[in-house]
Structure 1
Amino acid sequence: MPPPEGEGRRFRSRDWFADPARSDMTALYLERFMNYGLTPEELRSGRPIIGIAQTGSDLSPCNRIHLELARRVRDGIRDAGGIPIEFPVHPIFENCRRPSAALDRNLAYLGLVEILYGYPIDAVVLTTGCDKTTPAGIMAASTVDIPAIVLSGGPMLDGWHDNELVGSGTVIWRSRRMLAAGEIDEEEFLQRACDSAPSAGHCNTMGTASTMNAVAEALGLSLPGCAAIPAPYRERGQMAYATGRRIVEMAHEDLRPSRVLTRESFLNALAVVSCAGGSSNAQVHIQAMARHAGVELHPRDWTDHAYDLPLLVNMQPAGKYLGERFFRAGGVPAVMWELLQAGRLHGDCASVTGRSIAENLQGREATDREVIRPFADPLMDKAGFLVLSGNLFDFGIMKTSVISEAFRARYLCRPGHEDVFTARAIVFDGAEDYHARINDPALGIDEDCILVMRGAGPLGWPGSAEVVNMQPPDALIQRGIRALPTLGDGRQSGTADSPSILNASPESAAGGGLAWLQTGDLILIDLKQGRCDALVPPEEIARRRRELPPPPVPASRSPWEALYREKTGQLADGATLDFALEFRRIAEQTPRHNH
């Protein structure tokens, strides 16, 4: 429980509401809070002012549940002795934002930093759900460094279509192939998509939303079990109440992100993502969060510390089931429990509970071994992420847990050349070019080709787009070839089941090797050595760099697009606003008065 009024630590909000040296400013800061019913006694009591960073809105349907959950958060804050203040966060809607919701992560980060720093907020509840809301909130909390706790809105209920589990997002990519094969028509495509989204909440698959909320829990920034509770379940409202109570205690304890986020906690997050079959987008966001937290995390840590981990979670797109059954099986704590027992989790890391990760995991063994497998009996061995490099890029990443048996047999099982293959490049400049030409017979696309997408990175798109998971031409799909190797300087949806080489950095628009690659070039991919090289002589590469015009890049069409391109780094480094990295723990200094 918090200390009695008048005792304990002095909160930063007192500099607004109880500054004896500036009674005029105290009056100015207080008076407009009165117009909706707050009282001077509340704001001047010395009780902590708790922000609720509201990411839910009609433009953020995946997070809209937070409009209701915030009431329970408020109840918890009030009951624990705090004063709740709810405020909006820039909306993020992955499916609808054009040209890319990746633009919004850094924009939401900037706005949230300014709110948390410039207003009388002592601690904050970060409401999360859709993909980029989680990293945006954690990045901002690290920059400001006030006590912060993450509350996920939770996944939707499981989707069903004709007695088949249909997972949000994943059903789109699978139905797209079925449409090309002539197995369904457009009306059924739409119905399958709608059936995958039966309730409030974010994606019910282990896409980027579920992955990033699992990451928040693995980092120790959520209460144990928070990530997996489906949005409509009663336990979600109960978690909101408990989160509200706990953030007040954290304010009194001064338990800030800088005490929780360490290199070891980030390595825990990498392990959980790998064992859960999580999204490849986690690489970008985890790198960004680590950089804002001042934690050294190298992109190769994905291979060095997590590639050899097994796939434990049987959940789409890498597995069979969806969010409800994952929750009932034990959720993220059960996955972390397996890692802890196997000696692959740093159990001494701190968490928002005030206890260690290991203490939080006591008694959290899985209850459904069909969904969360034992570490010694996994769905797949070595199911983590492979980092690749070569003459086309310095960094690229491949999610191995979605490599199908058919793909593995076709490309990765040649006797004496296992995990090595050569393919002919078919190069596309953006998604529009791909859709215009993928079915062109003149390209001669066959099963020995690799589809390459360039111009899809932070600078080229701009923002980076989820367009690398390209499907084969319709003619190949109708022959039963459902997947070709794909490569690009953009991303792909976390719900996609395409075994792509993603996030290639530097991107073509920044002078990366994809800029000189041409259709017809042979690419050698060696997963054992972590290499991806175009089989083009060095002198020819040099000639192309000198003589070929750069690939086309669309003009910026908004002020933010132009500023984003000017200030944002590459996907390998988290696509952060690099100038922002020098600002850390800024709440330690009180802002100047405004009058």
Structure 2
Amino acid sequence: MTRDRRKTPEELRSARWFAPDDLRSFGHRSRAMQMGLGEEDWQGKPVIAIINTWSDLSPCHHHLRDRAEWVKRGVLQAGGLPVEMPVHSFSEQFLKPTSMLYRNMGALEVEETLRAHPIDGAVLMGGCDKSTPALVMGAVSAGLPFIFLPAGPMLRGNFRGRPVGSGTDVWKFWDERRAGTIGREEWEGLQGGIARSYGTCMTMGTASTMMSIAEAWGLTLPGASSIPAPDSGHKRMAAACGRRIVEMVWEDLTPDRIMTPASTRNAATVAMATGCSTNAVIHLIAMARRAGIALTLDELDAIGRETPVIANIRPSGKEYLMEDFFYAGGLPALMKELGERLDLSALTVNGRMLGENIAPARNWNTDVIRRLANPVWHEGSLAVLRGNLAPDGAVIKPAAMDRRFLRHAGPAIVADSYAEMKRIIDDPDYPMTPDHVLILRNAGPQGGPGMPEWGMIPMPKALLKQGCRDMLRISDARMSGTSYGACVLHVAPEAYVGGPLALVRNGDVVEIDVPARRLELRISDEELAARRAVWTPPAPRYGRGYGWMYVRHIEQADKGCDFDFLRTDFGPPVPEPEIN
């Protein structure tokens, strides 16, 4: 079927289940009637899956049970049949050891859910950190028309008359708590005011970053990524998604038409301009590779070098939160400020080019959304480092760190586990100076397992009492997108598989040069080789189950941490069965 005409009802994918006059289709129709449906519900109508990540242990998605009803309303208004289908909830706050361990499982679940059911198109409902990449990765692999419905950020936090940001301000207050400058009463008061509505973190953490990336990629309706979750406009947007996905099915607007090299560059450029989470690197690469686009760390670094941070949102910005960003004009206003730095001809899910979508946008507050001539940071949010300590790359967030660590050298203090690191940082008398470099290893994709957000190592008590609030920290782990500080992350290859990080010893001098993009261990190649020759692999993390499969098939951070068998070049796609 050519794409310059609309599908006919006979060409709907769901018609293979419901239309034939045979035994199998009789079973499909009779079981649909068992649920109270009639032929008027499915005959000649697109069946739209509402992929819902709601759960009672997902505070960021706690409103999505309600929003599914608004999506259904939109689908029905447009003449489709909505079917709500639950998938993994990606409960960032409660999953152990980390929700990242389950991103690929969720992606696989989405892909197979869409492939195995009589679905013509999908509305993907999510937003908290890993949910956006998981939903998009699965839906792209399934290849059906889809639209992403962002959960939206929560309202601004409030504590003692001033706005506070989830995550970002927690880290700051925790340092002060451990330094003894605030007491238990103040600490407990903060916990009741820092997250006061449903929705995702209202800083430019991983959740807001990934929702912004989805919009910049053309996968959401214009402006959808920054609407606060409790805003009534969020309900209207949900209904609009329902209406639009029905039209996308008739237009056969599949993800391969939207997720192109040009729109991928748009997504990366916008990510850098927002002051994005370091996690964006892993997820951008993974999503792009699912779409058959070989995005690399070096390409992301090049985009970062030429894209200033213009969103003055914590943690890269100092003042504002996502609610302020929304009132200032949201992502369409930011993209309009970027102008010709974006490919404005890129197609989006509403069937229009990006340039058409952002043409009406206005920037209502140029301190929240800065002009290019007055950026928050002169380069993009992230930088990619390489050297003998990270031959396959590592990531740092220069816009959110003490500038004195942009170039630094100091002796290493090494911990082989988070428990060991915790003993070091909780010891008020541990012998260290601000020049020391803390190294946490065996916390990567396999070593964590799942690459937990341990990379934002809390400041050691020994330095807090000296008045220090930043130091150089290096790990093969990730950190929360709401975090800040001189933290080098995603060191690849990870220590658990024998990467150079496994070979560092206490007292070795580590050198960083962010402008030059270097991360080096000051020892000779011969010494490094000698240490590698006597290195012993750690014990296996799992003996069975999902974890056993995970550690055998997970790729390293520079490849996006996807499963190797889900790459587009792994093998040919399996054709859908004609009979079921």
TM over 0.5: yes
- Separation in 2, partners of 1:288, 1:397: 16
State how far apart, in whole Å, the 2-side matches of 1:253 and 1:402 are. 43
Which of 482, 504, 512 does residue 491 from structure 2 map onto?
A: 504
CA–CA separation in structure 1 for the residues paired with 2:248 and 2:530: 60
In structure 1, which of residues 335, 353, 356 is the aligned counterpart of residue 353 of structure 2? 356
Tell me which of 463, 475, 481 is aligned to 2:450: 463
Contact 2:6 2:250 in 1 (8 A): no
Q: Which residue of 1 aligns with 2:365?
A: 368
Judge conservation of contact 2:7–2:250 (CA < 8 Å) in 1: no
1:401 aligned residue: 399
Indicate yes or no: 2:271 matched with 1:285. no
Count of equivalent residues:
575
CA apart distance, 1:304: 0.9
Equivalent AA in structure 1 for residue 379 of structure 2: K
**CA distance in 2 between partners of 1:433 and 1:359 (Å):** 54
Residues in 2 aligned to 1:589 and 1:539: alpha-carbon distance in whole angstroms: 52
Relative distance call for 1:186 and 1:560 in structure 2 (3 A) is: farther
Query: Is the CA contact (8 Å cut-off) linking 2:210 and 2:280 kept in structure 1?
Result: yes
Equivalent positions of 1:303-452 (< 5 A) are: 303-319=301-317, 320-340=319-339, 343-393=340-390, 394-403=392-401, 407-408=402-403, 410-412=404-406, 420-440=407-427, 444-452=431-439
Q: Indicate conservation of the 8 Å contact 2:449/2:541, yes or no.
A: no
Shift, 1:588, TM fit: 9.3
Change beyond 3 A, Cα 1:129–1:557? farther
* CA RMSD, 1 decimal: 2.1
- The CA deviation at 1:9 is 6.2
Query: What residue number does 2:75 align with?
Result: 77
Residues 460 and 587 of structure 1: CA distance in aligned 2, closer, same or farther (over 3 Å): closer
Where 1:68 maps in the other structure, the secondary structure is helix
1:593 Cα offset (Å): 2.5
> Post-superposition shift, 1:421?
1.8
CA shift digits 1:321-354 (9 cap, x unpaired): 11211111111111111111xx211111110011
**What SS is found at the alignment partner of 2:224?**
coil
Distance in structure 2 (CA, Å) of the matches to 1:467 and 1:449: 18
Residue 72 of structure 1, CA deviation: 0.8
Query: Paired residue for 1:19?
Result: 20
Alignment of 1:23-42 (within 5 A): 23-42=22-41
Q: Please give the alpha-carbon distance, in whole angstroms, between the structure 1 residues aligned to 2:247 and 2:7.
A: 15
1:226 alignment counterpart: 224
Deviation at 1:442, TM superposition (A): 7.4
Larger mean Cα displacement after TM superposition, 578-587 or 485-494: 578-587
Cα–Cα, structure 1 residues 558 and 103, in superposed 2: closer, same or farther, change >3 Å? Answer: farther
For residue 76 of structure 1, what is the amino acid of its counterpart? G
Task: Decide whether the 8 Å contact of 1:275 with 1:311 is kept in 2.
Answer: yes
Give the CA deviation at 1:41. Answer: 3.1
Letter in 1 for 2:63: I
Give, as a single letter, the amino acid of the residue that structure 1 aligns with 2:529: A
SS at match of 1:427: strand
Aligned to 2:546: 560
Residue in 1 that maps onto 2:48: 50
* SS at structure 1 position matched to 2:182: coil
1:443 to 1:181, Cα distance in 2 relative to 1, 3 A: closer
Contact 2:6 2:252 in 1 (8 A): no
Q: Percent identity?
A: 39
**How many angstroms apart in 1 are the aligned matches of 2:523 and 2:20?**
69
Structure 1 residue 152 corresponds to structure 2 residue 150: yes
Partner of 2:558: 572
Question: Is the Cα contact below 8 Å between 2:9 and 2:44 reproduced in 1?
Answer: no
Q: Which amino acid aligns with 1:556?
A: Y
- TM-aligned CA distance change 1:197 to 1:76, over 3 Å: same
Report the secondary structure of 1:124's partner residue: strand
- In the alignment, is the contact (CA less than 8 A) between 1:124 and 1:149 conserved in 2? yes
Give the conservation status (yes or no) of the 8 Å contact 1:455–1:553.
no
CA deviation string 1:101-125 (max 9, x = no partner): 1011101111111110010000000
Q: Which residue of 2 aligns with 1:266?
A: 264
In 2, distance between residues paired with 1:219 and 1:16? 32
Q: 2:523 is matched with which residue: 536, 541, 546?
A: 536
CA positional deviation for 1:164: 1.8
SS of corresponding position for 1:125: strand
Deviations 1:400-434 (A, max 9, x none): 2102xxx21x434xxxxxxx321111111121111
* SS of aligned partner of 2:227: coil
Find the aligned partners of 2:119 and 2:215 in 1 and give their Cα distance: 23
Question: What is the Cα deviation at residue 208 of structure 1?
Answer: 0.4
The residue number in structure 2 matching 1:188 is 186
> Shift in Å at residue 377 of structure 1?
1.6
CA contact (8 A) 2:498 2:535 kept: no
The C-alpha deviation readout for 1:291-317, integer Å capped at 9, x for no partner, is: 110012111112112223222111111
Q: Which secondary structure does the structure 2 equivalent of 1:504 belong to?
A: coil
Partner of 1:216: 214
- Quote the Cα distance in structure 2 between the aligned partners of 1:113 and 1:206: 28
What is the one-letter code of the residue matched to 1:13?
S
Q: Quick check: 1:303–1:384 contact (8 Å CA) kept in 2? A: no
Counterparts of 2:475 and 2:63, CA distance in 1: 35
Offset from partner CA, 1:235-277 (integer Å, 9 cap, x none) = 0001001111000000000001100001111111111111111
Deviation at 1:7, TM superposition (A): 4.2
Work out whether residues 274 and 385 of structure 1, in 8 Å CA contact, stay in contact via their aligned partners in 2. yes
- Which deviations, in whole Å up to 9, do the C-alpha atoms of 1:39-74 show, x marking residues without a partner? 13322x121000000111112221121100111100
Question: What runs of 5+ residues in structure 1 fail to find an aligned partner?
Answer: 413-419
Does structure 2 retain, via aligned residues, the 8 Å contact 1:275–1:309?
A: yes
Superposed displacement of residue 192, structure 1? 1.2
CA shift for structure 1 position 501: 1.2
Secondary structure class of the residue paired with 1:115: helix
SS of 1:84's equivalent?
strand
Q: Partner letter of residue 106 of structure 2?
A: A
**Compared CA separation, residues 400 and 434, structure 1 to 2 (3 A):** same
Give the direction of change, closer, same or farther, for the CA distance of 1:6–1:525 in structure 2 (3 Å limit).
Answer: closer
Among candidates 441, 445, 450, match of residue 454 of structure 1: 441
* Residue identity matched to 1:368: N
Residue 450 of structure 2 is aligned to residue 474 of structure 1: no
C-alpha change, 1:325 and 1:553, in structure 2 (3 Å) is farther
The answer as to whether partners of 2:276 and 2:382 remain within 8 angstroms in 1 is no
Partner residue in 2 for 1:88? 86
Match of 1:415 in 2: none
Q: Are residues 571 and 5 of structure 1, via their aligned partners in 2, closer, same or farther at CA, if it must alter by over 3 Å? A: closer
Q: Any unmatched runs of 5+ in structure 2?
A: none
Distance 1:539 1:442, change over 3 A: farther
Whole-Å separation in 2 of the counterparts to 1:360 and 1:149: 16
Distance in 1, matches of 2:35 and 2:9, equals: 29
Residue 495 of structure 1 corresponds to which residue in structure 2? 482
For 2:305 and 2:137, locate their aligned partners in 1 and report how far apart those are by CA, in whole Å. 25
Q: Which range moves more in the overlay, 282-291 or 534-543? A: 534-543
Cα pair 2:204 2:481 within 8 Å, conserved: yes
- What is the deviation of 1:583? 7.6
Distance in 2 separating the partners of 1:584 and 1:62: 34
Partner of 1:417: none
Shift of 1:76: 0.5
Give CA deviations for 1:135-169 in whole Å, capped at 9, x if unaligned.
01110111111100000111111100001211111
In the alignment, the residues of structure 2 paired with residue 174 and residue 553 of structure 1 have an alpha-carbon distance, to the nearest angstrom, of: 36
